């Protein structure tokens, strides 16, 4: 093995075909002109914002040469040249994203939902089924947060390890060819300061996965130079300890200059071979890169770079040096290269203009229709002059966007509020049609729309033998997981302490020994990359369960869950999916960091995921069985104090399926409805016994899942009977209880049927104090529920229920 290698020209120059060299030169200049033109489009008001990949072209061309079908990319927003080079992005599509064209055909990465420079390939057919990923060059969907691409990069590479080493996966030929696929990651030098980078790098070294990380180093992070970002000013210098040697596994690390075509080609050839054949992670630190237009359209780099630095960047611009290389080695003449540059510029301009015509043409059509409808309505309206003015102003709009059209139409309808229906009927119908279209353009695909959506999974009732044994709740889960591992080779579980000891609550006890370490796996203490491991493997056709040991620790991973997993299906408009199951445990226990119920936080940040809150382990098992049939990502929060409680062992433990979005009435009552979930179900059930002795019969509804929530509006039917409702949970005040109230009182119209003010009961605003006393005085107790319900009934009938 070698030490960290600085790759440069050796005595024997590499042999390149002239045709390939000139093709690379042309593509590099097409990409450069796309960057230059993109900046101008923003300044002309035709696009909102721009961030470009100029200065990074040569390294990306080198990387693209060794990127094969089946490989995956997890990169960031400066990788346009690479995407052009692998044939997964056209310049027309690039500008369609800059303009935010909402057509999947025009802009397949995100259908206009993402800022320019966010790349993705479409892994799914229109019906949501998988394509043959081994026959494609794949890019996972980009996200903006710095280093946010690193966790899933680990998972994408880990999938190759699993496909190579697990014989049970050999038949999944549409996802892998013997694990030969490499996961290629790119990141800017400044972003390597992020914890996500270090966590992913360490985990990849531990796991020994086929991952190539390219660090594009242009010496700055916006205005801040490297010496403020990185010890010694060099990420490869401080990571030398990761370099593998004859005795220790680790990384292969290369340092190469971003303007040296030969050295770049050599580095990427070696990296591809090492990662693909040996399953060793590789890091390529590409130094001496430039950024000719600065960070983005939000400012100029002349503000913070010295005159000397700017002069150096002009000389060592990779395209300037590439031209020099071609001339010095006799590969082309000056006239030939000038001609290629001109052709590249003309081609980029032609594609840009075609993208603009396609984008603006749709809006102009809608604008024309709106103007005609407003003017037509104006002829018979009391507000004729005002309507004509609206139409005239809209007709004068320069580079109109859809908002201009729709906002004007809405104002026109407001003006006609006193007119007869026939006057405004045509424009109102048009507006209604546009609302449907815009719902599809901007708000569809938050959840699966395929036949594998959770709401379409048929439920299967739990069954028990007459002599069903009473067992610890964790044994029900253990039996369920054993069945999943036995029946579906795609299923695997990993997390802290999941493997050898079978998780801290023993639901996987003995399953690693039975099914192997690749199926039930221990990880380090690294929540972010546990989730990333799950996202990446799910993107590659596996069915991972990633465990976060306690719900309190999910904060470490919340950014990745929210910014990457939860919005993946939405931001690709159904182009990608990652049906990851995140398993954790929370609610009742003791202490500030082991009794978490931050449900409101999760509900607000994880739209796009399912959130399941089972009251016991049987319900949890049924939800896992359902989720394994679905193609949506989910978070399942088991009750932390329920693993040792006794439950009957189901006869069909691996088959019964709990329907998601369907609440269950677990106690009938006539006086008041209590809506709750999770560990609070037992608290409320105990309170019901106390209240019954006082003459109050409450109906208890376990919502079972918070996302989705009561899709058939069953809860309001209970309220019609009781005329009163209490929402109970152990989140902070205004958290999940407020969410449930809004869903029932507002969305389901329960306010029509209430004879008493709807109420909530929640935990204190602080985290729970330690010990049983801390729990009692911090979270809702049986006594609290009794007094809250009784007070509500006292208001109704003070004679029957006098104050305590």
For every residue of 1-70, DSSP letters joined together read ---SEEE---SSPPP--HHHHHHHHHHHHHHHHHHHHHHHHHHTTSSS-----TT-HHHHHHHHHT--TT
Task: Convert 604-667 into a string of H (helix), E (strand) and C (coil).
Answer: HHCECEEEECCCCHHHHHHHHHHHCCCCCCEEEEEECCCCCCEEECCCCCCCCECCCCCCEEEE
CB 290 within 8 A of CB 316: yes
CA distance 211 to 181: 9
CA distance 145 to 147: 6
CB 129 within 8 A of CB 581: no
CA distance 696 to 690: 9
Contacts of 540 (CB under 8 A, 6+ apart): 72, 133, 156, 159, 163, 175, 176
CB 250 within 8 A of CB 1: no
CA nearest 572: which of 119, 85, 72? 119
CA distance 231 to 193: 10
Beta bridge partners of residue 213, listed in sequence order: 185, 283
Angle at CA of residue 168, ends 163 and 169, nearest 5° = 35
Q: Is 594 a catalytic residue?
A: yes
Q: Which of 301, 569, 587, 594 is catalytic?
A: 594
CA distance 218 to 292: 10
Q: Three-class SS of residue 539? A: helix
CA distance 783 to 568: 43
Q: Three-class SS of residue 586? A: strand
CA nearest 40: which of 223, 289, 221, 293? 293
CB 643 within 8 A of CB 471: no
> Maximum distance among all alpha carbons in the chain?
103
Beta bridge partners of residue 635, listed in sequence order: 582, 611
| Count of C-beta atoms within a 10 Å radius of residue 693 | 9
Question: Hey, which residues are catalytic here?
Answer: 594
């Amino acid at each position: 093995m070698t030490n960290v290698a600085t790759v440069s020209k050796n005595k024997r120059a590499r042999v390149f075909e002239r045709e390939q060299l000139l093709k690379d030169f042309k593509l590099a200049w097409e990409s450069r002109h796309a960057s230059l033109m993109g900046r101008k489009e923003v300044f002309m008001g035709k696009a909102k914002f721009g961030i470009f990949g100029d200065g990074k072209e040569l390294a990306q061309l080198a990387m693209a040469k060794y990127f094969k079908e089946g490989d995956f990319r997890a990169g960031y927003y400066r990788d346009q040249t690479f995407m052009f080079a692998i044939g997964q992005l056209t310049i027309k599509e690039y500008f369609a994203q800059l303009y935010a064209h909402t057509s999947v055909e025009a802009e397949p990465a995100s259908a206009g939902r993402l800022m320019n420079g966010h790349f993705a390939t479409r892994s799914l057919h229109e019906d949501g089924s998988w394509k043959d990923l081994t026959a494609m060059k794949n890019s996972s969907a980009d996200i903006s947060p710095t280093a946010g691409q690193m966790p899933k990069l680990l998972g994408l590479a880990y999938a190759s390890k699993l496909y190579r080493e697990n014989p049970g996966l050999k038949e999944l030929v549409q996802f892998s060819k013997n694990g030969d696929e490499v996961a290629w990651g790119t990141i800017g030098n400044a972003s390597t300061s992020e914890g996500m980078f270090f966590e992913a790098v360490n985990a990849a070294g531990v796991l020994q996965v086929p991952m190539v990380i390219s660090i594009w180093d242009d010496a700055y992070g916006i205005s801040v130079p490297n010496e403020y970002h990185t010890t010694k000013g060099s990420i490869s210098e401080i990571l030398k300890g990761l370099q593998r040697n004859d005795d220790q596994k680790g990384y292969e690390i290369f340092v190469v200059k971003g303007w040296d075509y030969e050295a770049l080609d050599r580095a990427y050839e070696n990296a591809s071979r090492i990662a693909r054949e040996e399953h060793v992670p590789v890091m390529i630190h590409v130094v001496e890169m430039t950024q000719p237009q600065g960070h983005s359209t939000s400012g100029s780099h002349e503000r913070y770079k010295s005159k000397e630095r700017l002069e150096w960047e002009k000389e060592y611009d990779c395209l300037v040096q590439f031209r020099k290389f071609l001339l010095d080695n006799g590969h082309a003449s000056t006239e030939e290269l000038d001609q290629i540059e001109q052709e590249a510029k003309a081609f980029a301009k032609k594609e840009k203009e075609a993208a603009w015509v396609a984008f603006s043409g749709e809006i102009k059509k809608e604008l024309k229709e709106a103007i005609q409808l407003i003017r037509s309505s104006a002829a018979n309206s009391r507000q004729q002059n005002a309507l004509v003015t609206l139409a005239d102003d809209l007709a004068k709009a320069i580079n109109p966007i859809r908002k201009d059209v729709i906002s004007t139409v809405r104002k026109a309808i407001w003006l006609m509020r006193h007119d007869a229906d026939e006057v405004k009927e045509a424009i109102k119908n048009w507006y209604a049609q546009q609302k449907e279209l815009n719902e599809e353009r901007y708000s569809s695909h938050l959840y699966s729309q395929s036949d594998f959506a959770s709401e379409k999974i048929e439920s299967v009732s739990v069954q028990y033998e007459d002599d069903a044994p009473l067992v610890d709740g964790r044994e029900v889960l253990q039996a369920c997981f054993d069945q999943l591992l036995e029946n579906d080779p795609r299923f695997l579980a990993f997390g802290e302490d999941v493997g050898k000891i079978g998780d801290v609550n023993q639901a996987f006890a003995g399953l690693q020994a039975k099914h192997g370490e690749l199926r039930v796996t221990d990880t380090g203490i690294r929540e972010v990359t546990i989730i990333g491991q799950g996202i990446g493997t799910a993107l590659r056709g596996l069915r991972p369960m990633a465990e976060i040991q306690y719900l309190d620790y999910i904060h470490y991973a919340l950014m990745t869950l929210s910014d990457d997993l939860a919005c993946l299906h939405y931001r690709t408009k159904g182009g990608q999916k990652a049906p990851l199951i995140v398993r954790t445990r929370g609610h009742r226990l003791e202490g500030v960091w082991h009794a978490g119920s931050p449900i409101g936080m999760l509900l607000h940040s994880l739209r796009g995921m399912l959130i399941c809150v089972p009251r016991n382990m049987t319900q949890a098992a049924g939800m896992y069985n359902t989720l394994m049939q679905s193609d949506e990502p989910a978070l399942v929060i088991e009750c932390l104090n329920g693993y040792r409680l006794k439950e009957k062992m189901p006869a069909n433990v691996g088959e019964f399926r709990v329907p998601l979005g369907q609440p269950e009435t677990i106690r009938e009552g006539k006086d008041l409805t209590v809506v709750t979930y999770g560990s609070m179900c037992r608290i409320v059930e105990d309170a019901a016994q106390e209240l019954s002795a006082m003459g109050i019969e409450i109906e208890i509804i376990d919502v079972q899942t918070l996302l989705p929530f009561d899709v058939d509006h069953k809860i309001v039917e209970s309220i019609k009977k009781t005329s009163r409702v209490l929402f109970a949970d152990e989140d902070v005040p205004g958290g999940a209880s407020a969410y449930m109230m809004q869903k029932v009182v507002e969305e389901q119209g329960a306010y029509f049927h209430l004879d008493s003010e709807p109420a909530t009961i929640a935990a204190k605003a602080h985290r729970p104090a330690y010990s049983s006393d801390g729990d009692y005085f911090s979270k809702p107790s049986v006594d609290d529920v009794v007094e809250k319900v009784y007070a509500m009934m006292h208001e109704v009938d003070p004679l029957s229920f006098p104050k305590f």
